[in-house]
């Protein structure tokens, strides 16, 4: 298996984007489709849409109402906890990360040599080989620092073996496909990485005619389990699923 930290796509991401992306919990009115032009020409809103609400990226928010001291005039306080699930192995997601990095760095005002150097820094993420793996990433934000810390510590403490009983990918043909590898979150915005096989016995785990792909994760303190569904039809490019 070649998906290691040495080729981690997160190296292409500028840390300055963390608040911008993970803080974008407001969904677009409908899932954003892939813009019909090169990613270097995407507008900020288009790149952000690909990363937050698109065929390759979803958000799931849990809301908890609590009472007690510091809960406001009404005596209650609402805790919002949002999970960000993305298919990092899908090229549109990696292109959107790269475009957001360009925008953050004021790429369009760079000279030719500066652009060439900056583009080279993005190449490891854009050119990582995912032909054997489907990689799902998980980010998390909460308006309660204690909840955010608890989830962060949970994700950082897990290993591939402990996550195998918690994280699954379900397709039309495979119920709860077993996790191949898990990488805890680094100091970046990509988040935790869940690696699943792209093929079983030489056959794809996802076919163009399939309906749905579901990522499932059991996170302590959240009920029901996180379950994020993706429509395969929206992930088709030239009649092939891109994920």
DSSP state letter for 57? E
Residues shown for the chain: 243
Please, where are the H alpha helices in 23-90?
44-52
| Segment 69-112, tens digit of pLDDT | 555 544 558 999 999 999 999 999 999 998 888 888 888 889 98
pLDDT of amino acid 175: 92
Q: Name the more confident of 33 and 114.
A: 114
pLDDT of amino acid 126: 82
| Segment 135-150, tens digit of pLDDT | 999 999 999 999 999 9
Lowest-pLDDT range, 97-106, 120-129, 161-170, 226-235?
A: 120-129
Highest mean pLDDT among 2-16, 115-129, 174-188: 174-188
Greatest CA separation found in the chain?
60
Residue 105, both tokens: 């760095």
Q: Mean pLDDT, the chain, as a whole number? A: 85
CA–CA dist 151, 129 (Å, integer): 30
pLDDT of amino acid 33: 72
- Whole-model pTM over 0.75: yes
Q: Which residue has the tokens 């869940």?
A: 194
pLDDT of amino acid 4: 42
> Given a cut of 90, is residue 162 above it in pLDDT?
yes
Average pLDDT of span 212-235 = 96
Instruction: Render 149-160 in DSSP notation, one character per residue.
Output: HHHHHHHHH--H
SS3 category, 52: helix
CA–CA dist 242, 218 (Å, integer): 26
> What is the helix (H) or strand (E) element at residue 94, kind and residue range?
helix 91-104
């Amino acid at each position: 298996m070649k998906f290691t930290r040495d080729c981690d796509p997160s190296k292409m991401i500028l840390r300055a984007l963390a608040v911008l992306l993970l803080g974008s919990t407001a969904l677009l009115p409908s899932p954003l489709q892939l813009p019909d032009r090169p990613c270097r020409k995407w507008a900020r809103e288009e790149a952000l849409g690909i990363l937050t609400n698109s065929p390759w990226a979803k958000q799931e928010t849990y809301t908890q109402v609590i009472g007690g001291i510091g809960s406001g005039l009404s005596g209650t306080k609402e805790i919002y906890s949002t999970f960000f699930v993305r298919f990092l192995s899908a090229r549109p997601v990696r292109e959107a990360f790269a475009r957001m990095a360009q925008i953050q760095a004021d790429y369009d005002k760079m000279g030719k040599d500066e652009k060439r150097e900056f583009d080279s820094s993005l190449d490891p993420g854009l050119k990582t080989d995912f032909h054997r793996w489907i990689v799902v990433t998980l980010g998390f934000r909460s308006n309660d620092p204690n909840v955010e810390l608890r989830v962060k510590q949970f994700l950082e403490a897990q290993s591939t073996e402990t996550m195998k009983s918690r994280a699954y990918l379900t397709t039309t043909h495979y119920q709860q496909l077993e996790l191949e590898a898990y990488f805890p979150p680094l100091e970046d915005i990509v988040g935790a990485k869940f690696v699943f096989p792209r093929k079983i016995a030489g056959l794809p785990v996802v076919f163009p005619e399939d309906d749905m792909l579901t990522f499932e994760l059991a996170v302590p303190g959240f009920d029901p389990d996180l379950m994020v569904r993706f429509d395969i039809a929206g992930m088709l490019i030239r009649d092939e699923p891109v994920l």
